[in-house]
Structure 1
Amino acid sequence: MSKNDSPVEVDALHAVAEDLRVVIGKLRRRLREESHVGDFTPSQTQVLGLLEREGPATVTALARAHGVRPQSMGETLSVLKAAGLVSGTPDPTDGRQTVLSLTPAFRKKIKASRAARQDWLFRTMQTRFSATEQQQLAKGIALLKRLVDS
């Protein structure tokens, strides 16, 4: 906030926080609709996201990351394996463990899903917003990045 900025009334800021939460939820749902990846449970989505971001992992490491028992994680992974989304190879340092990773076919599907969501956002912003609104949106994104990084 600069010296010339006056603080927003507390009630108004609460309303902005609520509106932001609701809008982000709706945007997430809309992007999920545009993704065409499939229906996954929250646990499955978390595991797939972790494997994509962090790379291959064991059942134990995934269970620890999600705060669940390895047996529970095993159940989640068995569904993902059966669907052809995750595959496993023996751990080179501990033959009792399996290192799990996303299948190449699912990585390709993730890439296509991201492209579909980005294309929807681009087309929607291009057709529904004026040039001035597009610039305002870009500034708003910079503010959202600061919010997320706080």
Structure 2
Amino acid sequence: MGDRASISKAEQVSALAAELRAIFGKLKRKLREQGGRSDLKPSQVSILLRLEKEGPATVSSLARAEGMRPQSMSTIITSLLEAGLVKGSPDPNDGRQTLISLSRKCEKLLKEGRAATQDWLTTAIQKKLSSQEQEKLAAAVKLLTQLIED
């Protein structure tokens, strides 16, 4: 009888995990829509966020960090350069290398995008959830934080 309960509990936890994954996927897409970056490919967004977090980098170091070939990275960087989202400048340590960094245009877009997603999420929480539900959400956020902490 104990095995039956544990299997049932394990199935419940597995179903909860699947539901969380699906909900976070939908939330991520919704936030991306609200942030105005929906026209960028995930690989482009990943590179922009890496440059924002880690600072200027060469194409080859970006390729290593993203786990792709330098030729593939060059294609992505070229599209970002053409869109005015990144800029290249000579590496002060090695003039043969070019450091890729975010353009002011991109920094502004990222800031505006984050503000838009924050505004949308704040409004959605206020409009769709009661005070009690907002408290439950805050408690759930604490639990989710526990899940991802190492």
TM-score, length of structure 1 as denominator length: 0.92
Encode CA deviations 1:6-54: one digit per residue, 9 max, x unaligned: x881010011000000000010011111111341122111111100111
Tell me, what secondary structure is at the counterpart of 2:89? strand
1: distance between equivalents of 2:130 and 2:40? 36
TM superposition shift of 1:89: 0.5
Q: Where do 1:58-137 residues align within 5 Å?
A: 58-137=58-137
The answer for the alignment partner of 1:33 in structure 2 is 33
Which amino acid in the other structure matches residue 66 of structure 2?
Answer: H
Let me know the Cα RMSD of the aligned residues: 1.5
Alpha-carbon spacing, 1:10–1:38, altered in 2? closer, same or farther (3 Å): closer
Q: Does 1:16 align with 2:16?
A: yes
Which amino acid in the other structure matches residue 22 of structure 2?
Answer: V
Encode CA deviations 1:52-103: one digit per residue, 9 max, x unaligned: 1111111111011011121211111000000000001000111110011000
2: distance between equivalents of 1:22 and 1:112? 27
Unaligned 5+ segments in structure 1 are: 1-6
The answer for the alignment partner of 1:4 in structure 2 is none
The answer for the alignment partner of 2:3 in structure 1 is none
2: distance between equivalents of 1:10 and 1:68? 37
Structure 1 outlier segments of 4+, above 3 Å: none
Alpha-carbon spacing, 1:115–1:44, altered in 2? closer, same or farther (3 Å): same
Tell me, what secondary structure is at the counterpart of 2:96? coil
Alpha-carbon spacing, 1:38–1:20, altered in 2? closer, same or farther (3 Å): closer
2: distance between equivalents of 1:45 and 1:92? 26
TM-score, length of structure 2 as denominator length: 0.92
Number of equivalent positions: 145
Unaligned 5+ segments in structure 2 are: 1-5
1: distance between equivalents of 2:144 and 2:54? 24
